[in-house]
Structure 1
Amino acid sequence: MWKGGEVLKQKQIENLKQSSSAELAQLTKVIVSAIEKYQHMPTLLASNSRVIRVLEQRSPLDIQQLNAELAQISRITEASESYIIAPTGVTIAASNFDQDTSFIGKDFSFRPYFKQAMAGLSGRYYALGTTTNRRGYYFSYPVKSKQSIIGVAVVKVDLSQFESRLKNNKFNFLLLDPDGIVFSSSRKEWLYKTINQLSHEELQRIVESRRYKTQAFEKLPIVAEEAFDDDSDLLQLLDVKETLKGEEKIDRISYLHLSSSIYSLGFKVDLLIPITLIEEEIALWRTIFMACLMILILVLITARLRRRMLSERSQALEMSRHNQAYIREIINNTQAGLITLDAEQKVESYNPAMETLIGHSLTDLIGVPFHHLYQPFSGEPGRQTQPLFDNVSGPLNVTASEGVLNLYSDEGVHDFKQVPVEMTLCKMNLPNSLKYLVTFHDMTERKQYEQELMLARNALEHRVVERTSELELANQRLRDEIQHHKETQQELIQTAKLAVLGQLSAGINHELNQPLTAMRAFAENGLTFIERENIPQAKGNLSKIVGLCSHMSDIISRFKVFARKGKFQHSAVSLDTVLQGAMTIMMQRLKECEIECILPDIGEEKVMGDVVLLEQVLVNLIANAIDAIMESEHTQNRIELVIEALDSDKGKSASWLTIKVRDTGNGMDDQVLASLFEPFFTSKADGVGLGLGLSISQRIVESMGGRISACNITQRPHSVGHKDVNIGAEFSVTLKAVSFIKGIS
């Protein structure tokens, strides 16, 4: 039967394919004819004298008349739009000049049809309009004057006007571009869908061509595909329809898929012919056959069932009696207390576990109202049981509560023990009456556990309060220690400053003695000039004394600023100011040690930090460099300061600036480099230095959000096989930059 249905279906689809192939050929001719009838319009426009004159002279009157003429041509020919483009790609006249989506002033130089025409060729292109957002096929032709191309004439054919004419209830058509994207269709919801899934490279190429603007592409909802023959196949697509209630209904529709290529237009026409009617017809014949077969089978089964039914009826009666006895035995042996209530909520029956639960004979329990037997925890005796019955709406709905079993009566309380229980109430809708089934579970042990848990929780909460108080005290001690460490660190920084100043005291003395000696000489000479009544010379000496006083004041103020004790101020710091301050402090010692110091050409570079602390770091690094040079045997005594920008391109702002201090000392071995920034570590002789300078410098730089590092400057010897030789050391301080790079050497 199934094979016969498949053969019949195959034959009917073959007949459908023959008739549909003719319709596909006819549809292809109609599409080609409808589009290509406009291909010569740009040629005619290009030969129009008014078009040539407008492109050459750009007269406003000619442009206005040309706009009206183009609009009339578009109405007569039913072309969507016609327009003239200047060699720059900007539209100067268009048939839609008076519309909101006018092409006038729009730049279409990126379109391939414009580039083809400017190359002297007739252009063809299809795309989604960037201005009107309408699909169209474009024909273009160059406008020439005196053998020169002076512009481009373009005609756009709106494809949507053909879709309504080509609609047919027998089939759906798709117009596909070479990428398999639906450019035109009899179904609007299929537009811009794809037959196959596009790769990332294909999507990137389509986006860059700007053919479809920013249109998103999704694959057609093809859920099944099967080859029918060499040039056709069968497809199943999901079809979403809206019902009368406004709900969406999704169906699977089967189609016969035929295709034909239009090489002149660059399209492929696909025809989808529904084969649902064929499948429904085959299904109907199969249903009729199956119905007849089922009727025959049912007749045979009915005769056999009648004989079996008579036998099973007697067995069912026996089974019913057995089940009743079985259920009664289960109820009597269950550990939960069970009672049944009648429609008036009075006790009708109970099981032995109920007497065990209460610990008393319940002979008189029959007929007692339920609210005399059970009281919820939340209410007064006999007051809160009715809502439990109101909440039970059916046999599958149960009501549960917690309460106490204690038999009450109108005169008082019976001498039964109170038992905490969990109660479950269920309605039983029997054929001729209404009953209730009530289940009781003993909660005595659970209540004891809850009491013990409450006591344990209270003890735990008390312990948590005690531990919280202890933690708060510990946190306060920790905060005090942190504050003490911060104060100790500030004292260490100040001690390092004073140690540097102590080392430089001889230089400070020399810096001040020179101007003092000069001042004394100028003063003595001034007295002599006054005695001789040479007032101009005396005034000159006094002016020089004033200048020397200012120079001494600058020296003292610089050392005063360096030695001051204050809080860290995080702000933009000029590297020029920092270097000049450090050099003022170290200049005398550099002269005494006959060491050359090379400074960078600094512009307006700034970093984030504190000017005084940054000076302290540089003074310490320069002082260490001097000590290293004095201990070495090299003939070149030179310290070089270099500024480098990190993470920056030429002409752009630098992210970081690095200050490098290079010396010509002996360098450092690996053990010294590994422990260089540890507190109290020093490579100098005993009694020289505290070993805190580099450790404090590291803390200062890190507090500014920067980093400090050290390495050796090496040189490869001329002899082969020898290790690199240290010719000095380099310390680098990297800080966040806040200005543009200008002429850093």
Structure 2
Amino acid sequence: MNVWKANVGFKMKWSVASKYLVWLWIVALALVALVSWKGGEAVKTGQIKKLRIESSLQLNQLASVLESAIAKYQHMPTLLAANDRVKKALQDGFEADISHLNRELEQINRITEASDSYILNADGLTIAASNYQKDTSFVGRNFSFRPYFQDAMQGKAGRYYALGTTSNRRGYYFSYPVYVDESIVGVAVVKVDLTQFEKRFANQSYEFLLLDPDGVVFSGSRSAWLYRVLGELSYEELQRIADSQRYRDQPIEKLAIVYQKPFDEVSQIVDFLETNTVNGELERRSFLKMSRPIRLLGFTISILAPLKNINEEIALWRAIFAGGVTITGLLFGLAMLRTRMLRERSDANEMTRHNQAYIREVIQNTQAGLVTLDEFYKIESFNPAVEKLVGQPLAPLVGQPLNVLFQSVEQKLRPSVEQDASYRIDPENVLDSAGDLGVKVLTREGRLCYSNQSSVPVEMTLCEMQLPNRRSYLVTFHDMTERKRYEQEITQARKELEERVRERTFELEGANTRLRQEITEHKGTQRELIQTAKLAVLGQLSAGLNHELNQPLTAIRAFAGNGLKFLDRKQYEQAHANLQHISQLGHHMGDIIARFKVFARKGDVHQGPIAVQTAIMGALKIMETRYKEVGIELLVTEDQDLIVNGDMVFLEQVLVNLLANAADAIVESNMDSKRVVVEQTGTETQVMIRIQDSGNGLGEEAIKHLFEPFFTSKPSGLGLGLGLSISQRIIDAMGGQIRAHNLTNGGAEFCVTLPRFQSSLLTIT
């Protein structure tokens, strides 16, 4: 049996170790892959950053060279236009003058290395050109359709870029009007060929593109990219390019960009699809793209640094790293496996040598009672723990059946087998039945009884031991005295706990009912406080309201009396005019009463989109009379079209409270400057409404207790101290904040911050 247990333990250890080893390898491979990928990305990012720095220097150098190379030609047309020979040729048109001018233009072109220089008359016809001797001479050709000619004829210095209709070469054109007695008689033009610039930078380690204002590639290191666009052009833009004959019949197509991602603020990673010149297959090539404008030309120059070498280096680095880690892991794993096998072999030999002694010590010193049975189910041996449980020596029981020592109280098998009808246990029958069910362990509760001593409640476990030469059984007895006592105590405690839970549940239900009643009463009290604050403000404004209503009422009586007299005199037009005045005054009085009626109504906060300007104007309408009475100057910023998420009536109440407090502060201060400023500003998520007054500001004590209920700095009888406290609760309910502080130049500022309404926001009220 001991050898069988040792083998089973060894197999279980080996199985667990194998599972751990497999999972360890899986985790290691995942870590290697993660480190390889992240490390490669980090190295790649670092190399691209170095490349970006180099490319930035190359881009600036390239732009500087191009700008300086073209800038030296921009004043040539001005000099030609001031030449007396040019003016004479345009004015007189003598053949000798034109011939001499052709030779002079040819010589100027040779010295300045410009592409072409030519003179156009007022009709756009070329009368002289530096290429007059060539087959592609401009002489006799009309270029009135070119924008540079049209600009010069309007008295402006012209600039243009196009594919030449005669020379079929790309060039940048500078033009200038030729004046004779303040009249434009022709145009001087200089064309700069960009081919020499492309040849100069043809064999660099990078590619470059020169884009016109429409995004069309006007010049570049690759001829296949000419007349292509990086983005999209509309039909109108394509038609405009075609009408100007800028690129003649060249098709304007889009470059094959398959991937584009920003690398940082000034550079991008761009992938192009290109045809391989060797095998004709499409290849994907990655570049680091950087651009900058050339303000002199109105162009944009872009530099494309290839990333092929960096990508290949990163791929090679990842392969070397993964291979090295994998080989190291394999060698380490083999070493660990060999070490484990040697250690387990040594442990197995040691376990075999000490197995018998170890088992004897366990049996002698275990707290559980152990009894061994022979193949006939008779007691063969026992440990001291059994004698301790019974309370006397058990040597006379050797060779006796187990029923002499153990009596079953409850016939119960785990897993269950059929209950035995007999009171006493028969191990042979029970084990035979259990063996038929595939069960090798029998567990029952009973008592240990021997002689006349008192019995001990125990749990008996009987199992078969697989020994090499014979059949034997092991019986284990566990003392259940304490467990039975604990079960009784637990049962009693559970009953007491259930009773306490029922009592506590009843108490909590009563407390919840009272709490709900208090919450309902609190909400009603809060609504009444808000209504009280509204009515207090209306009470303060009642005198102004009477004044506002008395004036139109007096006017109505006057207009009505005059209207009756006009009717008596049959002056119907004057009577009709008086009735119109009465109607307008009536609407005015109705608007005043409606604002105070809406302001005074009760209600809860209903969230929704409201215009800030509308709320401000509604509050100002209510406070207008009060401000006129005390002579306060009111400054309101322009409408910013700001929308917040809140309740219109409650927001007006808050603004009225703040405006009323500002007026009270100014009146108490007796300052010469009486001014209130209302500002509205906004961000992407919030809207701020600021109300600033020119009063004495807030004291330290007032700032500490500003939003506490019933706190007021006004004289006794002039305030309840509820306005700011209620305003804060209203703003909190709308998801905002209200703050106050003193201004550096005197006075105080109250700032209301509310969430800005988003078009996609769904508010449920």
- The bucket for the TM-score relative to the shorter chain is 0.5 to 0.7
The residue identity in structure 2 corresponding to 1:340 is: T
Distance 1:563 1:371, change over 3 A: farther
The question of 1:550 aligning with 2:587 is answered yes
- Secondary structure in 2 matching 1:436: strand
Structure 2 counterpart of 1:106, from 242, 248, 256: 256
Matches within 5 A, 1:379-458: 379=412, 380=419, 381=423, 399=441, 401-405=443-447, 419-458=456-495
Q: How many Å apart are 1:387 and its aligned residue?
A: 6.5
The residue identity in structure 2 corresponding to 1:404 is: G
The answer to whether the 8 A contact 1:88-1:109 is kept is no
Distance 1:738 1:327, change over 3 A: closer
Structure 1 counterpart of 2:408, from 372, 375, 400: 375
The answer to whether the 8 A contact 1:376-1:404 is kept is yes
Distance 1:370 1:90 in 2: 102
The question of 1:220 aligning with 2:335 is answered no
Q: How many Å apart are 1:730 and its aligned residue?
A: 0.8
**In structure 1, what is the equivalent of residue 226 of structure 2?**
87
The answer to whether the 8 A contact 1:371-1:383 is kept is no
**In structure 1, what is the equivalent of residue 373 of structure 2?**
341
Q: How many Å apart are 1:598 and its aligned residue?
A: 0.8
Runs of 5+ unmatched residues, structure 2: 1-167, 170-221, 231-252, 262-273, 287-305, 336-352, 413-418, 760-765
Q: How many Å apart are 1:388 and its aligned residue?
A: 6.4
Higher mean alpha-carbon deviation, 417-426 vs 505-514, is at 417-426
Deviations 1:347-387 (A, max 9, x none): 44556764664579975784436699453746344689667
Distance 1:691 1:427 in 2: 89
Distance 2:552 2:758 in 1: 38
The residue identity in structure 2 corresponding to 1:643 is: Q
Structure 1 counterpart of 2:548, from 511, 519, 543: 511
So what's the TM-score if we normalise by structure 2?
0.52
The residue identity in structure 1 corresponding to 2:600 is: A
Deviations 1:18-47 (A, max 9, x none): xxxxxxxxxxxxxxxxxxxxxxxxxxxxxx
**In structure 2, what is the equivalent of residue 656 of structure 1?**
686
Distance 1:132 1:440, change over 3 A: farther
Matches within 5 A, 1:62-73: none
Q: How many Å apart are 1:562 and its aligned residue?
A: 0.3
- Secondary structure in 1 matching 2:706: coil
So what's the TM-score if we normalise by structure 1?
0.53
Matches within 5 A, 1:523-562: 523-562=560-599
Structure 1 counterpart of 2:747, from 728, 734, 737: 728
**In structure 1, what is the equivalent of residue 739 of structure 2?**
709
Structure 2 counterpart of 1:687, from 708, 711, 717: 717
Deviations 1:418-467 (A, max 9, x none): 53213343433444311112121221122112211221122123212322
Distance 1:603 1:538 in 2: 43
Distance 1:423 1:703, change over 3 A: same
The residue identity in structure 2 corresponding to 1:699 is: R
More helix by proportion, 1 or 2? 2
Distance 1:370 1:662, change over 3 A: same
Distance 1:633 1:737 in 2: 38
Q: How many Å apart are 1:181 and its aligned residue?
A: 5.0
Matches within 5 A, 1:106-255: 106-107=256-257, 181=312, 192-194=315-317, 219-223=321-325
**In structure 2, what is the equivalent of residue 599 of structure 1?**
636
Distance 2:710 2:577 in 1: 54
Distance 1:334 1:110 in 2: 75
Distance 2:254 2:559 in 1: 87
The answer to whether the 8 A contact 2:431-2:440 is kept is no
Distance 2:500 2:257 in 1: 79
Distance 1:401 1:104, change over 3 A: farther
- Secondary structure in 2 matching 1:572: strand
Distance 1:595 1:350, change over 3 A: closer
The answer to whether the 8 A contact 2:403-2:425 is kept is no
Structure 1 counterpart of 2:697, from 663, 667, 688: 667
The answer to whether the 8 A contact 1:180-1:194 is kept is no
Q: How many Å apart are 1:489 and its aligned residue?
A: 1.1
Q: How many Å apart are 1:533 and its aligned residue?
A: 2.4
Distance 1:485 1:508 in 2: 33
**In structure 2, what is the equivalent of residue 29 of structure 1?**
none
Distance 1:678 1:475 in 2: 29
Distance 1:739 1:426 in 2: 75
The residue identity in structure 2 corresponding to 1:581 is: G
Distance 2:259 2:607 in 1: 54
Q: How many Å apart are 1:250 and its aligned residue?
A: 8.0
Q: How many Å apart are 1:600 and its aligned residue?
A: 1.4
The answer to whether the 8 A contact 2:379-2:397 is kept is no
Q: How many Å apart are 1:342 and its aligned residue?
A: 2.3
Distance 2:567 2:371 in 1: 134
The answer to whether the 8 A contact 1:662-1:729 is kept is yes
- Secondary structure in 2 matching 1:710: strand
Distance 1:334 1:585 in 2: 93
The residue identity in structure 2 corresponding to 1:375 is: S
The residue identity in structure 2 corresponding to 1:342 is: D
Q: How many Å apart are 1:346 and its aligned residue?
A: 4.0
Matches within 5 A, 1:309-348: 336-348=368-380
Distance 1:89 1:376, change over 3 A: farther
The answer to whether the 8 A contact 1:523-1:541 is kept is yes
- Secondary structure in 2 matching 1:469: helix
Distance 1:180 1:534 in 2: 97
Q: How many Å apart are 1:577 and its aligned residue?
A: 1.5
Distance 2:223 2:425 in 1: 94
Q: How many pairs does the alignment contain?
A: 455
Distance 1:509 1:390, change over 3 A: same
- Secondary structure in 1 matching 2:757: coil
Distance 2:754 2:379 in 1: 89
The answer to whether the 8 A contact 1:642-1:660 is kept is yes
Distance 1:391 1:419 in 2: 26
Deviations 1:632-684 (A, max 9, x none): 232111111011224xxxxxxx2111111111111122222121111111111
CA RMSD, Structure 1 to Structure 2 (Å):
4.7
Deviations 1:525-557 (A, max 9, x none): 122122222233223222322222222111111
Matches within 5 A, 1:419-498: 419-498=456-535
- Secondary structure in 2 matching 1:435: strand
Distance 1:577 1:387 in 2: 93
- Secondary structure in 1 matching 2:462: strand
Distance 1:180 1:640 in 2: 62
Distance 1:473 1:636, change over 3 A: same
Q: How many Å apart are 1:560 and its aligned residue?
A: 0.6
**In structure 1, what is the equivalent of residue 625 of structure 2?**
588
Distance 2:662 2:602 in 1: 25
